[in-house]
Amino acid sequence: MDLKSIILVFFGGGIGSLFRFIVTKYSNKNLISFPIGTSISNLVGCFIIGLLIAYYDRNDIPKKDIFLFISVGFCGGLTTFSTFMLDIFEMLKNENYQNIIPYFSINFFLGFISIALGFLIFR
């Protein structure tokens, strides 16, 4: 691991986290019982990763600096498993049981479909 890679991931992650913060605060403004902002962030990040993987594979480009910045940095900061789990925990704690399965399903299944869709677009 070199300093350049660390810096790329650091800045990419910061930008991705900032985008997630903005999307979450804006999206969750009127939807208190269902954290749609985290879902949007996760799906967009999965889609971007799918596009990126397909682009690099299709063009036989080595996965280096830009890939690291976008995939590990930006998408890593944009998407988040810990926030996802915290949202589910909060739903359980607040007895908001009716939203747990839909929320899990959106993030898990549509996240996978988003990666596949992004990949297929550039395939």
The pLDDT tens digits of the residues spanning 47-86 come to 999 898 888 888 887 778 998 999 889 999 999 787 788 7
Binning pLDDT at 50, 70 and 90, where does residue 10 land?
very high
- Per DSSP, the three-state class of 64 is coil
CA distance 112 to 119: 11
* Residue 123 and residue 50 in contact, taking contact as beta carbons nearer than 8 Å: no
pTM (predicted TM-score): 0.79
- Which amino acid appears at position 45 of this protein? G
